[in-house]
């Protein structure tokens, strides 16, 4: 089995999150706002029951190999999360991306398109206990009908991952994901692994 390694630069910014309760008559104290956008590491925590959380962001990716350079600028990584049950959320996402391909520094292709519409779920499996992390499980379908016809993949892509989170101190945490994805009409699974360190600047 051959693996290719591509350098990936991820520039995260423009993060906005909004959380609101759907049922004002219910007393529901929301905890800390935990987001999944715009980085690549998903948290194991589902949003509270009967709550909607909307997140968005922007990021830049760059890959270079054999004089070909691909640049992707995603303007909007919109994700809507709805707490259906105490430890279960439903997820709806949609990105808009500009893709550029360059050869020897000269642009040879540029496209703009929405990504496949993301439908998914997240379920909380276990709470953090001592050295044992908080654990969640996520699954997604990416429906291709929202993509321009000339760029549309033939098949619906699928991904799943386990998400883990450790509290390191009152102000810092460590999260990581392990999973697999079948996407872009690829016959074989691509393995997913991400890690993120978080530090709070406020108390």
Whole-angstrom distance, CA of residue 51 vs CA of residue 190: 33
Q: Is 63 or 28 the better-scoring residue by pLDDT?
A: 63
| pLDDT value of position 96 | 86
- Nearest alpha carbon to residue 37 among 98, 100, 92, 84: 92
Res 21 pLDDT > 60: no
Which pTM does this prediction carry?
0.76
Span 35-54, pLDDT tens digits: 887 778 899 999 999 999 99
Distances (CA, A) of 161 to 181, 192, 200: 9, 7, 26
Residue 24: is its pLDDT beyond 80? no
Position 30 confidence tier, pLDDT thresholds 50, 70, 90: low
């Amino acid at each position: 089995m051959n693996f290719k390694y591509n350098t990936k630069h991820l520039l995260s910014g423009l993060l906005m999150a909004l959380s609101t309760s759907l049922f004002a008559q219910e007393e529901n104290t929301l905890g800390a706002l935990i987001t999944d956008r715009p980085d690549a590491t998903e948290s194991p925590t589902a949003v509270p029951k009967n709550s909607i959380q909307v997140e968005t962001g922007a990021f830049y990716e760059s890959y270079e190999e054999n004089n070909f350079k691909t640049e992707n600028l995603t303007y909007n990584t919109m994700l809507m999360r709805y707490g259906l049950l105490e430890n279960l959320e439903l997820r709806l996402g949609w990105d808009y991306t500009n893709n550029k391909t360059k050869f020897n520094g000269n642009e040879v292709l540029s496209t703009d398109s929405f990504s496949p519409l993301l439908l998914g779920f997240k379920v909380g499996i276990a709470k953090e206990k001592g050295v044992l992390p908080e654990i969640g499980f996520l699954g997604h379908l990416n429906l291709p009908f929202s993509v321009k016809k000339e760029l549309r993949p033939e098949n619906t892509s699928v991904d799943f991952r386990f998400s883990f989170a450790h509290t390191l101190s009152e102000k810092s945490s460590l999260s990581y994901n392990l999973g697999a994805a079948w996407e872009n009409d690829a016959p074989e699974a691509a393995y997913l692994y991400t890690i993120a360190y978080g530090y709070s600047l406020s108390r």
